[in-house]
Structure 1
């Protein structure tokens, strides 16, 4: 009786359940991968990760399975887990898709720009430049992701926003290695982009975003060619022991 009355009155909010430990470990490990603290091709020893995060090996093992399912980690029987080392082709294809999505986002953001939206973008640019001046690469990359997400949100196209969000984390992963190299140039491009959005200049906003994302793409590919990532070892084939006659 009481439950029915409270439910009808909307007076009984659902109690939030705690996040499973494996998901918290998943997010912690993914953040280490995105920021480059765990590098492509690096071996992931369960015992070391457990000690680092202060948990048992079981949630580490479960989190590695989740990361493997999303392509962040490669599991090699007989060798263990390794941070996924993306091929040049894999990175090139994703960054090319990113250019298509974000170019359209910038065009629509200019079409639907609002004073509040532009003010938010300018504030993010100021924070990004401050992070560059402080040589805080992790913060600069995080704010970069936030700025691009804000532009996509300003576009008003929900489907486009959903598609862009699917690649945003991996784009952040590819951007981190070249963020210091791009430095202030990247944020100068951001400032020009925001100016075009504020002026409702759709074509200019789209052109600036296309060139901006292509600069990041080219920088990443150039660095990969100069510093090739070593792939994880191939699993060894184990012979089955002969049964006694």
Structure 2
């Protein structure tokens, strides 16, 4: 077990080719969004550098960038810590996500072709398996893939760009409730596919609103006993 709390082997060494600063940033961001690095966790430059196989300089630069973007908190005389999102932050982000996703579902119902619908169905089938096997990492990745595919099928580049800006933060919030949502989430995805197949834009919009609202409520209530 690493001092940072990461499972042994969870941090791959980075290949040297390519912009190292960017690669370190992406590696740390992925560890944060998947919650391999937990909110509130102390980030020690030397330890991260050692396990990434780089010097401390690109790690320091990545942490500064992550601080600017709100993923990391730099505290004077204490160091860097993974940001702990407030309930207000989560509520605002997931509310915006509902608006974007609902419009994407509406447009997908109007524009999706057979190949796109087949791709959605394949993701749902894989997601059900992941949920049944309690493979949270896989379930979170497939959930993101499903929503990204809906966004792609919507065919609106501006909408997709806006969604991409919040995608990783949505994954960050979704991960701790993925087990709670379990198979229910995939049943809701299946219902959305049926609405898209029927070209029922109004139903697709409603189902997506309900689906994203369930996730928002699950996150806000996750610690309730």
Report the TM-score, using the length of structure 2 for normalisation.
0.90
Confirm or deny that 1:166 pairs with 2:165. yes
Aligned to 1:94: 93
Q: Which residue number corresponds to residue 130 of structure 2? A: 131
Provide the residue aligned with 1:84 in structure 2.
83
After the TM superposition, which segments of 4 or more aligned residues of structure 1 sit over 3 Å from their partners? none
Shift of 1:105: 0.5
What does residue range 68-83 of structure 1 map to in structure 2 within 5 Å? 68-83=67-82
Deviation at 1:34, TM superposition (A): 1.0
- The CA distance in 2 between the partners of 1:22 and 1:75, in whole Å, is 18
Within the alignment, does 1:48 sit opposite 2:38 as a pair? no
DSSP 3-state at the match of 1:82: strand
TM-score (norm 1): 0.83
RMSD: 1.5
Structure scoring higher RCO (CA < 8 A, sep ≥ 6) equals 1
Instruction: Report whether the alignment pairs 1:63 with 2:53.
Output: no
Post-superposition CA distance 1:94-132 (Å, at most 9, x none): 100000110011011001121111001101111111211
Aligned residue number for residue 142 of structure 1: 141
Q: Could you tell me how far 1:18 is from its partner in structure 2?
A: 4.1
Instruction: Kindly report which structure 2 residues correspond to 1:196-207, keeping only aligned pairs within 5 A, or say none.
Output: 196-207=195-206
- What SS is found at the alignment partner of 1:96? helix
In structure 2, distance between residues paired with 1:85 and 1:18: 33
Equivalent residue pairs, number: 210
- Equivalent-residue separation in structure 1 for 2:180 and 2:47 (angstroms): 31
Q: Equivalent residue of 1:86, what SS?
A: coil
Larger Rg: 1
User: In structure 2, how many angstroms separate the alpha carbons of the residues matched to 1:59 and 1:127?
Assistant: 37
Q: CA deviation at 1:222?
A: 0.7
- Measure how far apart 1:181 and its partner are: 0.7
Q: Secondary structure at the match of 1:146?
A: helix
> Where does structure 2 lack aligned partners over 5 or more consecutive residues?
1-15
* Partner residue in 1 for 2:18: 19
Q: Secondary structure at the match of 2:77?
A: coil
Per-residue CA deviations over 1:176-214 (Å, capped at 9, x if unaligned) read: 000011000000100111111111111111111000000
Q: Hey, what's the Cα distance between the residues in 2 that align with 1:145 and 1:125? A: 11
Q: Deviations over 1:135-168 (max 9, x none)?
A: 2111111111111011011011111111111111
Q: CA deviation at 1:32?
A: 1.0
Matched residue, 1:10: none
Q: Distance in 2 between matches of 1:67 and 1:219?
A: 27
CA distance in 2, matches of 1:213, 1:50: 37
